[in-house]
Structure 1
Amino acid sequence: MRKEAALFLSMALTVGMMSGCAGNGTAGTSGGSTVAQQMEEETAQSSSTGFDGTVVLGATAPLTGPNQLTGGYYVNGMNQAVNEINAAGGILGRELVLDVQDEGTDQSIAINATIKLIESGVPAIIGSYFSTNCMAVLPEIEKNKVPYFANGSNPDISASKNPYVWQIRVTDDFTGPIMADVALNELNMKNPAVLYTTASSTTIQKDNFVKAMEEKGNPVSENNIYGAPENESNFSSIINQILGSGVDGLVVMGVSEAWDVALAQQLQSAGCDIPLMGSSSFASAPFIEVAKDAANGWYTVADWSPNILGRDLDVPERAVAFEEDYEKLYDAKSAMQSAWGYDCVYLFKEACERAGTTEDREKINEAMGSTDLQGANNYYKIYEDSYHVMSTYIMLCETTGGEAVPVRIVNFR
């Protein structure tokens, strides 16, 4: 209960700062204050606290619907970074304020939320961690020339070569080969089954995994590859086929908490005793919390795990400090969404300081091209092997005792 209370308190505080958000299920400020009124209040408050005005950073997150729990983690991470930055003097002397719009569960809502932020004049936007939502808003981002931090993992985001989009997470074309290496060399899967959601991003991850297995001399049989739609909730038929096929492991590319939980619980009920490896969502705090015992035994190639404290693991000091401070602030462990949100705020801060402005979108975007930053979740810079994909490593985890326990850091660059 303390965990959920902390999460939703943070969400409530952030929503309270929103500038008149309304419509499409988006929460609004109490009393229906207008953007102008809100900015006047913030400016007056800043003057009394020593800041030279405010800078409003835009963001979208699922604040309603089935993904609101992960959305709460996302906003928590952003708020933590904002608090730290303001305590240290803000950005170029200005107080940093978040304007978080609800992206709901529909691409049209995500587009409308992004347009609202663009029209309000924010200098940059922390975007969705759902690839479909990121892809949906790309035309608006390019048309309006606003820097956009994309937290979806679909490589099509960077392949669009939108000059204003910066892909923060490890992309699926990198994780597929990493998963193949772990499956073969650490889990000894020589004849695995593959199950994936038929969403575009996980299809790409599946294709790259299968390709990597073949390149390593261990091709996956077409008969052992299974697809299921994103809204699937009954996996009994697929599970029976997998467990009756003689495979020596199962590799899963999931996309949502509900899908992952249903699969894990049904595998447990079926008495599955083969090695299991999943995509990053299988290491997420919401998945483990809801799946309970069924989450144990899964290996994952994950963006982040909060269980880095007190372990013999070579992780950056920035990651340790982030987790320690998060737990003090919210009386709960973070989630990968928390680390993404946190790092995006700092990427924006660093770009503003290099550009010498908190307002000029073009200069801030140009400054992103010289990023060199160790964040909580990753080390970010520009690499020549991809377009604006900035991450450097990923984490191998094993879930045991209800925790995604880090095994090691996997550097892929």
Structure 2
Amino acid sequence: MKKSIKQMLKGVAIFCSIVMLFTLISACNKKSDDTAKKEKETEAAEKEAVEEKESAEKKEVAEKSEASEDKKAVEESDKKEASGEPIIVGVCTAMTGSSPLDGERTKQGVELAVKEINAKGGVLGRPLELMIEDDQNLANVAVNATNKLMNSNIVAQLGPQKSGNTKAVMGIAKENGIPILVGSTNPGLADEGNEYLFRIRASDRLVGQTAAKFAIETLNAKKIGILFNNDDYGMGAKGAIESYLDTAGLEYVAEGHNTGDKDMTGQIMKLKDAGVDTIIIWTHAPECAVVARQLKELLPGIPVVSGPTYTNQDFLNLVDAADIEGAYSVADFSVEKDTPEMKAYVAACDEEYGIVPELFSTTYYQGIYILADAIERAGSTDHDAVRQALSETKDFNGVMSAVNCNAKGEMVHEVTVVVLENKVPVMKEIVKFDVDE
């Protein structure tokens, strides 16, 4: 009996163990199934998320592509293809000689302007075309170049740049009845009564006056030394500066030099002995570099105000930063000018040539646009009609400045004072004048 009960209990224990084992196996299987289910659900969710992301990305790409195509379509619709006989514009500049970089920059400026204008349909629906002649920065060569251009069916001529060269050729333009747009700054050029001459930079009457006024009011000058070139450029500015200083009642001493001079020790020592406390310089790049280096040696620390030359690349290539650090220049413009025109132009120069805009490229880039505007308003390439339209230019938004032509053919009435910092012109102030000044 006891043995039977014992065997029975043993059987029950075995049965319970078996039940527990099956229960455990079942639970494990259920857990495994639940885990697998969850994994499948997670996998499905992740897959759905990936698909949604890919769908969103494809939609974004499609929208961008559509926007790009729309923009392209608008741009294409804005384009008007220039066709027909080209309108020829003559350019007289120094591609060789004493300042070939000035000529190269001029060429870059006019070519960029023509490229942009032609891409927008040209002028009167016709493409502009350039004819460039080298004047070697010499008056007699400028005369030959101008005669060749005037006999080549040009609508107008841009250049020369040097005041003496313009003085030599402006009569040829009048004789031929063809407008000439120049960057020459000698004040007397506009006093000749030549109705075919248009100046597309500020006159040295304005630039020189600004330099003198800045020296007095900002630098507190009491006695000014003027170092100038004895040519038309330097003499014209010297007269304007002296006139302003005479009116202001300020004492000054002037010392001249010649183009090509390589030693300014004598002139600088005379100014030093005279006790000047500020120097105004008006000359070309090679001579200006000599002055800058020797001033640093002989009159270290003296405040300097230059004409536009201190911002010219030709000049900057010839000096060290220490030679001109902290010097001031009365320039035609600054690339820091916050206008849509300047921003677009700076970007275009960088894209096209990899350069920062400077004086000569910018002067004649703007000159092409001034001329194109006049031809459009004239509705013709007739020389007298274009000349008349140029004389009526008003509130034209140029890249350098607003353009307004007065009775003397002076078109620009604005300058910019900059300070040189590590050979970079940094804008200080913009000075504007009345149109009739």
Aligned residue identity for 1:344: G
Query: Could you report, residue by residue, the CA deviation over 1:83-134 in whole angstroms, capped at 9, with x for unpaired residues?
Result: 1101101111111111100111321110110111111111110011111111
Structure 1 residues 324 and 82: CA distance shift in structure 2, 3 A: same
For the pair 1:267 / 2:295, whether they are aligned, the reply is yes
Name 1:283's counterpart in structure 2. 311
Q: State the shift of 1:168 in Å.
A: 1.1
Segments of 5+ residues of structure 1 without an aligned counterpart are 1-48
Q: TM-score, normalised by structure 2?
A: 0.78
For residues 393 and 270 of structure 1, the distance between their equivalents in structure 2, rounded to whole angstroms, comes to 34
For the pair 1:391 / 2:421, whether they are aligned, the reply is no
For residues 397 and 358 of structure 2, the distance between their equivalents in structure 1, rounded to whole angstroms, comes to 18
Residue in structure 2 matching 1:237, options 266, 286, 289 = 266
Contact 1:351-1:364 at 8 Å conserved across structures: yes
For the pair 1:101 / 2:146, whether they are aligned, the reply is no
For residues 106 and 193 of structure 1, the distance between their equivalents in structure 2, rounded to whole angstroms, comes to 29
Aligned residue identity for 1:196: F
For the pair 1:303 / 2:332, whether they are aligned, the reply is yes
State the secondary structure of the residue aligned to 1:158.
Answer: helix
Name 1:132's counterpart in structure 2. 164
Query: Could you report, residue by residue, the CA deviation over 1:363-408 in whole angstroms, capped at 9, with x for unpaired residues?
Result: 1111112112111122111235xx1111121000111111111111
Q: State the shift of 1:165 in Å.
A: 0.9
Name 1:382's counterpart in structure 2. 405
Aligned residue identity for 1:397: V
Aligned residue identity for 1:393: E
Query: Could you report, residue by residue, the CA deviation over 1:50-91 in whole angstroms, capped at 9, with x for unpaired residues?
Result: 622311111111011121111111111111101110110111
For the pair 1:361 / 2:387, whether they are aligned, the reply is no
Q: State the shift of 1:292 in Å.
A: 2.3
Q: Percent identity?
A: 25
For residues 408 and 320 of structure 1, the distance between their equivalents in structure 2, rounded to whole angstroms, comes to 18
State the secondary structure of the residue aligned to 1:122.
Answer: coil
Query: Could you report, residue by residue, the CA deviation over 1:262-300 in whole angstroms, capped at 9, with x for unpaired residues?
Result: 111122233521101111111212211221222322201
Contact 1:69-1:286 at 8 Å conserved across structures: yes
Contact 1:128-1:152 at 8 Å conserved across structures: yes
Query: Could you report, residue by residue, the CA deviation over 1:25-44 in whole angstroms, capped at 9, with x for unpaired residues?
Result: xxxxxxxxxxxxxxxxxxxx
Name 2:236's counterpart in structure 1. 204
For the pair 1:182 / 2:203, whether they are aligned, the reply is no
For residues 257 and 365 of structure 1, the distance between their equivalents in structure 2, rounded to whole angstroms, comes to 33
Contact 2:208-2:307 at 8 Å conserved across structures: no
Q: TM-score, normalised by structure 1?
A: 0.82
For residues 298 and 255 of structure 2, the distance between their equivalents in structure 1, rounded to whole angstroms, comes to 17
Residue in structure 1 matching 2:355, options 310, 329, 332 = 332
Aligned residue identity for 1:239: I
Aligned residue identity for 2:231: A
For residues 367 and 245 of structure 1, the distance between their equivalents in structure 2, rounded to whole angstroms, comes to 51
For the pair 1:149 / 2:181, whether they are aligned, the reply is yes
Q: Decide which moves more: 167-176 or 56-65.
A: 167-176
For residues 176 and 343 of structure 2, the distance between their equivalents in structure 1, rounded to whole angstroms, comes to 37
Aligned residue identity for 1:374: N
Q: Which has the larger radius of gyration?
A: 2
For residues 246 and 186 of structure 2, the distance between their equivalents in structure 1, rounded to whole angstroms, comes to 22
Pairwise CA RMSD: 1.5
Contact 1:287-1:295 at 8 Å conserved across structures: no
Contact 1:277-1:299 at 8 Å conserved across structures: yes
State the secondary structure of the residue aligned to 1:290.
Answer: coil
More helix by share: 2
Q: Decide which moves more: 157-166 or 192-201.
A: 192-201
Name 1:22's counterpart in structure 2. none
For residues 127 and 237 of structure 1, the distance between their equivalents in structure 2, rounded to whole angstroms, comes to 35
For residues 150 and 379 of structure 1, the distance between their equivalents in structure 2, rounded to whole angstroms, comes to 17
Residue in structure 2 matching 1:213, options 219, 228, 245 = 245
For residues 165 and 197 of structure 2, the distance between their equivalents in structure 1, rounded to whole angstroms, comes to 13
Aligned residue identity for 2:428: V
Q: State the shift of 1:204 in Å.
A: 2.4
Name 1:77's counterpart in structure 2. 109
Segments of 5+ residues of structure 2 without an aligned counterpart are 1-80
Query: Could you report, residue by residue, the CA deviation over 1:285-331 in whole angstroms, capped at 9, with x for unpaired residues?
Result: 2211221222322201111233x1xxxx5x43212221221122111
Q: Decide which moves more: 192-201 or 289-298.
A: 289-298
Residue in structure 2 matching 1:371, options 393, 396, 403 = 393
Query: Could you report, residue by residue, the CA deviation over 1:237-263 in whole angstroms, capped at 9, with x for unpaired residues?
Result: 222232343321111111x21111111
Q: Name the structure, 1 or 2, with higher relative contact order (CA <8 Å, separation 6+).
A: 1
